[in-house]
Amino acid sequence: MEYSAYSNVGGRGNNEDAMLVEEAGDATLFVVADGVGGVEAGELASNAAIEELRGQFLFEPNAFDLNQAVMAANLQVLNLQEKTKKKMKTTIAVVCVTPDSIQCVHVGDTRIYLLNGDGICYQSMDHSVSQMAVLAGEITADEIRQHKDRNKLLRALGVSDELTVDVKTFPRAEVNGLLMCTDGFWEYVLEQELIDTRKAAESSEEWLCEMRKILQERVKDKENNDNNTAIAASF
């Protein structure tokens, strides 16, 4: 396995995104989080969630319960809200890769893409108002990127102690690539473009670099564009 990762503040005053790549035992943990809160310190929520996941993973990497760990991360964000009196929240996307399987969990609109030789074999479904508009047939999937309610989330860590997460597990043999990214990244890079750039790249670093070039070319308001974060990996 080889991977590349980055996190960029964009045109914002602070970076509310956070990411993690951690290897332990026979497993590798990938996490991307996008803090929600602006002046309410979303970066505290994203980093608190990631640190909770890191601790649980390192404690027992070969028996890591991804669902339980995300629930614990949610409680950490709720506790931080109580302590600071700030209403920060965060999305979370988590992938745990073992020799036999790839397990994915996400909450919010930070995306997970799994790839194979044919293209994208799994794309996480955003927990957002605009995604519901797609399911209702009101807009197409590509129109999410311009939808007026694209930033309105239906799920996030820090909303309630009752949290519903989406968990998917795949045989590792069926997947050979991974992309995880916040909305500040996927807003500008289309699905066919991530497939095409991967096919042309010789490494995850080159793949991620080419996608970042697309992002930079499309950002019109560079002084106000969102934080953007991504992890690319090949197996």
Q: pLDDT tens, 113-123?
A: 999 999 999 99
Residue 39 pLDDT greater than 80, yes or no: no
Share of the chain above pLDDT 90, in %: 86
According to the 3-state scheme, what is the secondary structure of the chain? CEEEEEEECCCCCCCCEEEEEEEECCEEEEEEEEEECHHHCHHHHHHHHHHHHHHHHHHCHHHCCHHHHHHHHHHHHHHHHHHHCCCCEECEEEEEECCCEEEEEEECCCEEEEEECCEEEEECCCCEHHHHHHHCCCCCCHHHHHCCCCCCECCCECCCCCCCCEEEEEEHHHCCEEEEECHHHHCCCCHHHHHHHHHHCCCHHHHHHHHHHHHHHHCCCCCCCCCEEEEEEEC
Q: How many structural domains does the chain have?
A: 1
Q: pTM value? A: 0.95
Supply the Cα-derived Rg of the chain in whole angstroms: 17
**Domain that includes residue 29, residue range:** 2-234
For 50-63, the pLDDT digits (tens) are 999 999 999 999 88
Residue 208 pLDDT greater than 70, yes or no: yes
CATH number, domain with residue 108 = 3.60.40.10
